Amino acid sequence: MRMQSEPAYRRLVNPYVPMRVFSDDQVAAIHAAALTILENQGMKVLSRGARERLRVDGAVHDEAAQTVRLDRALVGHCLGTAPREITLYAASSEHDVPLSGRAVAFGPSSGAPNVSDLQRGRRAGTLADYEDGVRLCQSYDVVHLLGAFTEPQDVPPPLRQLAMMHAQLRLADKIPHTFCRGAAQINDCFELVRRAFGLSREQFRERPCTYTIINTNSPLVLDAPMADGIVEFALAGQVQMITPFTLSGAMAPVTLAGALTLAHAETLFGLSLAQVARPGAPVVYGSFTSNVDMKSGSPAFGTPEYVKAQFGAGQMARFLGLPWRSSNATGSNIPDAQGAYESQMSLWGALLGGSNFVLHAAGWMESGLTSSFEKFILDVEQLQMLAEVLQPLGGDGNGISHAYRPLLAGESPGDDADATLRANRVYRRALADYQTPARDPAVLEALDDYMRRRTDAGGSPPQT
């Protein structure tokens, strides 16, 4: 088992040349088409405050339709102020995460309402399940950032984000994740992070140490929580990964080039809003483009189209010079062979496409509806193997790994139990052996004090 005391895969660098599915001319044409979409159609922005932020030269408003159109000169100016080098700073410097160049980082399955394991089956996620997800993320060096392993359904929505951030900061010293559910909830989380890291508001603005995912509502809609989240994260100097969720054949054109053009336009719009709010705000180019099953209409993941879409999205991110976020995904409902080969296809698409950050890298199941504890371990096994592929040849020059230790093969030699049963044993033992990183008692008290006060006040309702 690769635990936190064995820092084998904390700094990953991809030495391979990224795959390409488009020529340079095609990449330029996709970018030009996206700019034309923003000029002629723009996006519907459901936040009045965000629309007001965009009352700048080069933005054309239709307040009755709640749309904003951006000319290409404004978009180009905003691209010019977006930073190309981004690092996320953790509570422990050994867990800092660079997101630029050829750096590679992995994060867990995030946002699932359900969890699953062999003992208790599929069920609504609880705070205890979420905390166990944090512990597992902390336990393996190949998982670099924390995430929303599950949303605790036993915590009321006004208090949920507080409970999740409190758990991340108490139980781990890796990069914490923040949901965008309105300015009040975001700023509650920012205050907890500042207390945990001992930062003033000014220091916090200059030191990115939490991240969020901004999802557009394709096609061409930016809802109020996401729009206001872009602004809040920009003003605070924290990292946002703007990620359209485009399924070709459903909410996007059926061709991959068309779907990627739509996604590119939506990402450019979100980036422009962030840069208008605060020039220099750190933005990661996010992509989550796949296809639907043309017979059933259901989302499909880990498909050849999904892999090619990742190659193409990586080209578009590099064309802009921005860090790129991708995903590991599967449509399988259980941690079986389908889940394994679809996840492996997804991961190869991400790594061969040149991704800097792979979200949902461990635990994703059932098209994102469930985070599986066994699947987390099975994925960590794959991630460690892929991380070893990224390593230079061994000191003896023969390429034989002296660092990689299989989780499942080493679980019980000669045992005829299948991989899922062995993964169940590994995850339960990891939790039993878990030790919380040392933290200054004064910091823990400051976190607890803020939690008590905000809980007594009823927390903050999520924005709708």
- Residue 159 CB neighbours (<10 A): 21
User: Does the structure show a pLDDT above 60 at 359?
Assistant: yes
Measured CA angle at 20 (ends 14, 21), to 5 deg? 145
Map residue 88 onto helix, strand or coil. strand
Q: What percent of the chain has pLDDT over 90?
A: 89
pLDDT attached to residue 2: 41
Residue 7 has pLDDT above 80, yes or no: no
The pLDDT confidence band at residue 412, using thresholds 50, 70 and 90, is low
pLDDT, residue 4, reads 39
Amino acid present at 125: G
The Cβ of residue 261 has, within 10 Å, a number of other Cβ atoms equal to 24
- Tens of pLDDT, residues 257-269: 999 999 999 999 9
How far is the CA of 408 from the CAs of 4, 27, 138, 402, in angstroms? 18, 42, 19, 17
Tell me, what's the pLDDT at 464?
A: 80
Residue 364 in contact with residue 116, Cβ under 8 Å?
no
Residue pLDDT, tens place only, 104-123: 999 999 999 999 999 999 99
pLDDT above 70 (res 399): no
In this model, does residue 164 exceed pLDDT 60?
Answer: yes
- CATH assignment of 12-22+81-390+416-456, given 3.40.50.1100, 3.30.300.30, 3.20.20.480, 3.30.450.40? 3.20.20.480
Nearest to 165 by CA among 191, 201, 199, 200: 191
For residues 55-64, give the mean pLDDT.
Answer: 97
Which band of pLDDT confidence, cut at 50, 70 and 90, is reported for residue 205?
Answer: very high
- Per-position DSSP letters for 335-375, written without gaps between them: SSHHHHHHHHHHHHHHHHTT-SEEEEEESEEGGGTEEEHHH
Residue 146 or 402, more confident: 146
H or E stretch covering 136: helix 127-139
**pLDDT tens by residue, 417-457:** 899 999 999 999 999 999 999 999 999 999 999 999 999 99
Per-residue model confidence (pLDDT) at position 5: 40
Asked if the model's pLDDT at residue 397 lies above 60, the reply is no
Average the pLDDT over 145-154 and give the result.
Answer: 97
Summary count for the chain: helices (H), strands (E): 14, 20
Q: Where are the domains of the chain?
A: 12-22+81-390+416-456
